[in-house]
Amino acid sequence: MERRDQAGLAVFVTHEALVEGATCTLGEDEARHLKVRRIDLGAVIGLRNGEGAVAEGTLVKVARQGAQVEVTSVVHVPPPPAVHLLVPVADRDRLLWLAEKAAELGCTSWRPVLWKRSRSVSPRGEGVTFQAKVRARMQGAMAQSHGAWMPQLFPEATIDRAISAAPDGARLVLDAGGAALAGGTVSLREVPTTIAIGPEGGFEHDELEMLQAAGFTSVSLGRSILRFETAAVVALGVLRAAQD
């Protein structure tokens, strides 16, 4: 089925499979958003489940606990080229901002790393409750940007665990002393790609050595010293532009 332009539709997220002709359920938060936006019964809305399904449906029931939608059309969108982020455990608000942008740009996975300099941050974003906030921010960003795929979320990891979990493929670490990421000698189309982003103040020397020993290539975003969340968005945006 040809994908119809959904630019004018409000988009909501369900955790269920989307099947044409079936009814799907939206959760309590999504039902609240429907009421806030004054979307009435019978309205056509967009649906996403974060697993590549792009659907439309008719709103048939809204209650405090959730809503029911009759699915009228579904197409399946292939995932973008895999880009995995190793983000620092860092300031909560700035991590949540980055989570939104990473979802908008379609990152494949999100793994927070407890670098040495992460330990001095307060208040820092970590733990199960914070991960739930990250997930909620990403779901909202995916819906607003009309994306189709949710990043896979992993719990906090040590540097050893993060390195061992990185898939084979291109491995990049953001480092001011590296080669230019854009317009340089680094291939931007190799997949999967893993990008390691350091904490405020940068990597400790031994951490950078561990990454390089594991096959991570140092790449630079230019002369400016960027905050971690800015650097991550720029790097992910450069890769996505090169992959289109």
Query: Which domain CATH number covers 47?
Result: 2.40.240.20
For position 83, what pLDDT does the model report?
Answer: 96
**pLDDT tier at 80, thresholds 50, 70, 90:** very high
pLDDT digits (tens, 9 = 90+) for 15-51: 999 999 999 999 999 999 999 999 999 999 999 999 9
Among 25, 49, 76, the domain-final residue is: 76
How far apart CA 116 and CA 120 sit, in angstroms, is 8
Q: For the domain that residue 218 is a member of, what is the CATH number? A: 3.40.1280.10
pTM across the whole model: 0.91
Peptide bond into 192 cis (omega under 30): yes
pLDDT tens, residue by residue, 127-171: 999 999 999 999 999 999 999 999 999 999 999 999 999 999 999
**Same domain, yes or no, for 41 and 132?**
no
Helix (H, G, I), strand (E, B) or coil at 188: coil
Asked if 37 and 110 sit in the same domain, the reply is no
Domain boundary among 27, 61, 76: 76
% of the chain residues with pLDDT over 90? 84
> Which pLDDT score, from 0 to 100, does residue 7 have?
61
Q: Tens of pLDDT along 216-241? A: 999 999 888 899 999 999 999 999 99
Average pLDDT over residues 183-195: 81
Q: Is 129 in the same domain as 159?
A: yes
Boundaries of domain holding 30:
11-76
43 shares its domain with 109: no
Spatial separation of the C-alpha atoms in residues 19 and 16, rounded to whole Å: 9
Provide the pLDDT for residue 244.
Answer: 79
And the tokens for 82? 């895999």
Q: How many domains does the structure of the chain reveal?
A: 2
Q: Is 62 in the same domain as 87?
A: no
Residue 2 pLDDT level (bands cut at 50, 70, 90): very low
As a whole number, mean pLDDT of residues 102-128 equals 95
Q: Is residue 216 part of a domain?
A: yes
- Return the higher-pLDDT residue of 191 and 14: 14
Phi then psi for residue 99, to 5 deg, are -60, -40
Rounded to the nearest integer, the mean pLDDT of the chain is: 92
Angle at the Cα of 97 from the Cα atoms of 95 and 100, rounded to 5 degrees: 110
Q: What are the backbone dihedrals phi and psi of residue 82, each rounded to the nearest 5 degrees, phi first?
A: -70, 125
When pLDDT is averaged across residues 53-58 and rounded to a whole number, the result is 97
Q: Is residue 147 part of a domain?
A: yes
Is the residue at 2 inside a domain? Answer: no
At which of 38, 61, 76 does a domain end? 76
Strand blocks (E) in 66-223: 66-76, 83-88, 109-113, 152-153, 170-180, 193-196, 217-220
